[in-house]
């Protein structure tokens, strides 16, 4: 599945953006998650960033979910693998509400997130909105053996000039290998208007998503990372 994106990324000098996400649904209302990321400015070379985070979800209804989480985010200099001194060392907490909409095969997710960011330069709040579209290709629903397209765009707004800090676009394809495991890969383009804690524009992204479901109700879920 990943051979074409990998080949194109290697030839074009993309950075790499790697995600490993685990979610455990323990009841019809509650679930927990953890996610780690590691990024490089060249194709699996010049690693400059890693993060890890964990949190809890509460489902208000089938289509509305509340989330709270904390994480650690670290950005290093260009020119090597985790070259010190760091550019940014950040602790972050955040809350979000997620709304999903289903129109036949089209599956939309609206995600609204408010972040509290504690950096070496002080406190920096931020608001993020992401619109995500997932389209199953060979089945009507996301089930084992399903190929799907995944497209999203996210904006980042801060309390300081320039208020519109960042835009992040992703387009890719995924495959549900088993009832609990998805893999997806694609192209991520990021535009920064306030370059503080991220470097680079073009990335090959690959995500490994594990979803452990211990709830009685087995409903269809959007195969998306936390990011």
Q: What pLDDT digit, counting tens, does each position of 8-42 carry?
A: 544 457 999 999 999 999 999 999 999 999 999 99
Q: What is the pTM of this model?
A: 0.90
Specify whether the CB–CB gap between 204 and 2 falls below 8 A.
Answer: no
- How many percent of the chain have pLDDT more than 70? 90
Mean pLDDT over residues 52-56, rounded?
A: 98
Between CA 174 and CA 206 the distance in angstroms is 9
Tokens of 192: 């920064």
Specify whether the CB–CB gap between 169 and 152 falls below 8 A.
Answer: yes
**CATH number assigned to the domain covering 3-213:** 2.40.160
Position 121 pLDDT exceeds 90: no
pLDDT, averaged across the chain: 90
**SS3 readout for the chain:** CCHHHHHHHHHHCCEEEEEEEEEEECCCCEEEEEEEEEEEEECCEEEEEEEEEEEEEEECCCCEEEEEEEEEEEEEECCCCCEEEEEEEEEEEEEEEEEEEEECCEEEEEEEEEEEEEECCEEEEEEEEEEEEEEECCCCCCCCCCEEEEEEEEEEEECCCCCEEEEEEEEEEEEECCCCEEEEEEEEEEEECCCCCCCCCEEEEEEEEEEEECCCCCCCCCCCCCC
Between CA 203 and CA 227 the distance in angstroms is 14
Q: What pLDDT digit, counting tens, does each position of 72-87 carry?
A: 999 999 889 999 999 8
Q: Which of 69, 80, 135 is nearest to 102 (CA)?
A: 135
Between CA 50 and CA 66 the distance in angstroms is 25
Between CA 179 and CA 126 the distance in angstroms is 35
> 71: Cβ–Cβ under 8 A, 6 or more apart, which residues?
51, 52, 53, 54, 91, 92, 93, 94
pLDDT band of residue 104 (cuts 50, 70, 90) is confident
Give the torsion sign (CA, 139, 144, 148, 152): positive
Between CA 68 and CA 187 the distance in angstroms is 28
Q: What pLDDT digit, counting tens, does each position of 143-192 carry?
A: 999 999 999 999 999 988 778 989 999 999 999 999 999 999 999 999 98
């Amino acid at each position: 599945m990943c051979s074409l994106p990998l080949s194109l990324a290697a030839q074009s000098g993309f950075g790499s953006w790697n995600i490993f996400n685990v979610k455990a649904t323990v009841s019809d209302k509650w679930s927990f998650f953890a996610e780690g990321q590691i990024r490089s400015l060249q194709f699996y070379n010049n690693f400059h960033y890693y993060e890890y985070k964990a949190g809890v979800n509460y489902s208000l209804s089938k289509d509305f979910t509340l989330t709270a989480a904390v994480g650690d985010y670290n950005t290093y200099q260009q020119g090597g693998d985790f070259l010190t001194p760091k550019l940014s060392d950040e602790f972050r907490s955040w809350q979000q509400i997620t709304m999903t909409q289903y129109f036949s095969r089209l599956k939309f997710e609206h995600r609204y997130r408010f972040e509290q960011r504690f950096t070496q330069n002080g406190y920096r709040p931020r608001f993020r909105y992401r619109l995500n579209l997932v389209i199953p290709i060979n089945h009507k629903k996301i089930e084992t053996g399903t190929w799907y397209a995944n497209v999203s765009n996210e904006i980042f707004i801060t309390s300081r000039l320039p208020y519109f800090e960042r835009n992040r676009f992703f387009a890719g394809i995924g495959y549900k290998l088993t009832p609990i495991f998805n893999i997806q890969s694609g192209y991520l383009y990021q535009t920064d208007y306030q370059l503080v804690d991220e470097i680079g524009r073009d990335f090959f992204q690959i995500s490994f998503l594990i979803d452990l479901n211990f709830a009685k109700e087995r409903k269809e879920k959007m195969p998306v990372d936390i990011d």
